């Protein structure tokens, strides 16, 4: 089922469209600078299930007469518009119960459900105490396993789960029947327990604003993989916002979207972005004269070798940045054209694999004279004089072959592969290197 939210004129958002296929279970991270509209998006999604979301969490000054939010869930649509009587948005169309249940949104303090649940646990403490005294609790094995993998210790081995009238509560029970409720755990532990519950309920879409706010860096670094596994098992999708590099660098291609608000027009875009692209936009690379954007680590390594071999000495300091696939590379270059976070656009070029050479490219985009590193190595491996052959290697495709040679069997280093490829394609590489030299070397050298 497709889920789509369109926000218009809800400050700071002028227009923003968010769309996700809820049949494609997984995790999605939305990143962007402060004030871009990440929290507004989370509130807008929450508003589908709780129509008073903006009344409780925002000033009425975020709306005007043209404010609107439209939702699409499969074939059903809901349209919320500004209502001057309540000075917020509302709809006369009732939202179906199963559509309300399709989304669960967790906001930061003090609006998040995990914070309001404190009162629930306190109010039900008598029931919880009675269950503990009578031994009416169970060991939540799967939850313990989840927490143990994230925290990398066994502090949760004795965790128990108590059922009460309005839900469940995790506790540590001691020999004298004293107990420690989950709302007295650390804020990070308490948050992860509640996040686990949301996903394992099978909620199609779980949204977490500021997922990293109460988690330390090491915990953040292990969180993504566990969330992927939970989403796949329980048919859920988790969308979260974050500013954490520790978390972002563990995400896979396609799991990061960058929310950008144009400084001049206020126009907002939400588009896929690689980790290195986000790191550049959010945190920057300072102090270099030239920047070369590439598709992947193999191409980055190959370019560094080629520059050292064919263009040395360079005059300008430079940085080669792996930005992801060719679409990400061009998008990052276009953003630099707008914002100059690397510098003037003439100081930034893109280098793509040679398989993109048949397509028309912008002025600052260049292609290798070889298809790509792995594919060229694959063809070289099939030549009789290739010195690093091994049994079964001829049956492998390009990427697995590269991995076997460099990592699994350690028969050859990435730098040695770069040398082999340049030796074999020396004339073509010398011609290509002229482009790099014009970019990196003093004119006339």
Is residue 11 in some structural domain?
yes
Q: Are residues 306 and 350 in the same domain?
A: yes
What is the reported pLDDT for 119? 67
DSSP secondary structure string for all residues of 259-320:
EEE-TTT--EEEEE--HHHHHHHHH---S-SEEEEESSHHHHHHHHHHHHHHSPSPSS-EEE
Q: Are residues 173 and 202 in the same domain?
A: yes
Is residue 266 in some structural domain?
no
| Cα dihedral 207, 213, 214, 218 sign | positive
pLDDT of 2 above 60: yes
Is residue 196 in some structural domain?
yes
**What is the domain range of residue 185?**
2-261
What DSSP character marks residue 135? T
At 396, is the pLDDT very low, low, confident or very high (cuts 50, 70, 90)?
A: very high
Q: Which of 261, 291, 317 is the last residue of a domain?
A: 261
**Percent residues over pLDDT 70 in the chain:** 96
Is residue 292 in some structural domain?
yes
**Percent residues over pLDDT 90 in the chain:** 72
Q: How many CB atoms lie within 10 A of CB 428?
A: 14
Mean pLDDT of 148-163: 96
Mean pLDDT of 375-404: 94
Q: Are residues 246 and 375 in the same domain?
A: no
CA triple 263-266-271, angle to 5 deg: 90
Q: Are residues 286 and 385 in the same domain?
A: yes
Is residue 272 in some structural domain?
no
Query: How many angstroms separate the CA atoms of 331 and 21, rounded?
Result: 23
Span 182-219, pLDDT tens digits? 989 998 999 999 999 999 999 999 999 999 888 998 99
Q: Are residues 311 and 221 in the same domain?
A: no
pLDDT of 114 above 60: no
pLDDT of 44 above 60: yes
Radius of gyration of the chain (CA): 27
Q: Are residues 236 and 316 in the same domain?
A: no
What is the reported pLDDT for 4? 98
Strands (E), 11-86: 13-21, 26-31, 68-73, 76-83
What is the reported pLDDT for 337? 86
What is the reported pLDDT for 210? 92
At 274, is the pLDDT very low, low, confident or very high (cuts 50, 70, 90)?
A: confident
Q: Are residues 207 and 298 in the same domain?
A: no
What DSSP character marks residue 330? H
In this structure, are residues 221 and 246 in contact, taking their beta carbons and an 8 Å threshold? yes
Q: Are residues 122 and 9 in the same domain?
A: yes
What is the reported pLDDT for 177? 85
In this structure, are residues 45 and 96 in contact, taking their beta carbons and an 8 Å threshold? no
- As a whole number, the mean pLDDT across the chain is 91
Is residue 269 in some structural domain?
no
User: How far does the chain reach from its first CA to its final CA, in angstroms?
Assistant: 59
Query: How many angstroms separate the CA atoms of 45 and 5, rounded?
Result: 7
What DSSP character marks residue 406? I
Q: Are residues 302 and 155 in the same domain?
A: no
Q: Which of 231, 261, 291 is the last residue of a domain?
A: 261
At 159, is the pLDDT very low, low, confident or very high (cuts 50, 70, 90)?
A: very high
The number of distinct structural domains making up the chain is 2
Is residue 270 in some structural domain?
no
Q: Are residues 8 and 54 in the same domain?
A: yes
pLDDT of 113 above 80: no
Two structure tokens written together for 64 = 């005007």
Q: Are residues 289 and 204 in the same domain?
A: no
CATH number of the domain residue 239 falls in = 3.40.50.300
Is residue 402 in some structural domain?
yes
At 430, is the pLDDT very low, low, confident or very high (cuts 50, 70, 90)?
A: very high
DSSP secondary structure string for all residues of 227-267:
HHHHHHHHT-EEEEE---HHHHTTPPTTSEEEEEE-TTT--
Q: Which of 207, 234, 261 is the last residue of a domain?
A: 261
pLDDT of 49 above 90: yes
Q: Are residues 191 and 322 in the same domain?
A: no
- Return the minimum-mean-pLDDT range out of 124-138, 225-239, 417-431: 124-138
- Chain centroid to Cα 12, Å, comes to 22
In this structure, are residues 52 and 95 in contact, taking their beta carbons and an 8 Å threshold? no
């Amino acid at each position: 089922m497709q889920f789509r939210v369109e926000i218009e004129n809800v400050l700071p958002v002028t227009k923003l469209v968010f769309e996700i296929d809820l049949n494609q279970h997984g995790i999605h991270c939305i990143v962007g600078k402060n004030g871009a509209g990440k929290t507004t998006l989370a509130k807008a999604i929450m508003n589908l299930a709780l129509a008073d979301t903006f009344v409780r969490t925002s000033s009425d000054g975020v709306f005007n007469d043209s404010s609107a939010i439209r939702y699409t869930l499969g074939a059903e649509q809901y349209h919320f518009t500004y209502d001057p009587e309540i000075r917020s948005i509302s709809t006369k169309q009732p939202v179906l119960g199963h559509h309300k249940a399709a989304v669960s949104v967790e906001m930061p303090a003090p609006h998040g459900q995990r914070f309001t649940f404190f009162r629930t646990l306190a109010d039900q403490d008598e029931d919880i105490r009675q269950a503990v005294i009578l031994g009416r609790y169970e060991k939540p094995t799967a939850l313990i396993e989840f927490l143990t993998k994230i925290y990398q210790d066994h502090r949760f081995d004795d965790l128990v789960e108590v059922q009460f009238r309005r839900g469940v509560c995790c506790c540590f029970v001691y020999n004298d029947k004293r107990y420690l409720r989950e709302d007295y755990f650390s804020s990070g532990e308490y948050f992860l327990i509640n996040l686990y519950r949301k996903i394992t309920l099978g909620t199609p879409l779980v949204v977490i604003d500021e997922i990293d706010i109460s988690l330390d860096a090491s915990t953040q670094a292990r969180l993504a993989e566990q969330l992927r596994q939970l989403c796949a098992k329980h048919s859920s999708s988790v969308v979260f916002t974050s500013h954490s590099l520790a978390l972002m660098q563990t995400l896979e291609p396609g799991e990061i979207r960058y929310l950008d608000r144009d400084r001049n027009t206020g126009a907002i875009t939400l588009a896929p972005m690689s980790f290195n692209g986000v790191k550049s936009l959010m945190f920057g690379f300072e102090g270099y004269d030239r920047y070369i954007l590439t598709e992947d680590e193999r191409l980055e390594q190959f370019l560094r070798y080629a520059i050292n071999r064919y263009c040395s000495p360079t005059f300008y300091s430079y940085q080669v940045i792996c930005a992801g696939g060719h679409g990400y590379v061009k998008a990052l270059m276009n953003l630099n054209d707008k914002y100059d976070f690397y510098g003037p656009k003439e100081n930034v070029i893109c280098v793509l694999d040679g398989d993109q050479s048949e397509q028309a490219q912008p002025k600052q985009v260049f292609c290798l004279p070889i298809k790509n590193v792995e594919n060229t190595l694959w063809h070289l491996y099939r030549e009789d004089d290739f010195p690093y052959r091994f049994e079964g290697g001829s049956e492998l495709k390009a990427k697995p072959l590269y991995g076997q040679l460099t990592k699994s069997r350690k028969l050859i280093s990435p730098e040695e592969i770069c040398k082999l490829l340049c030796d074999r394609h020396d004339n073509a590489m010398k011609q290509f290197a002229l482009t790099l030299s014009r970019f990196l070397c003093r004119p006339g050298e």
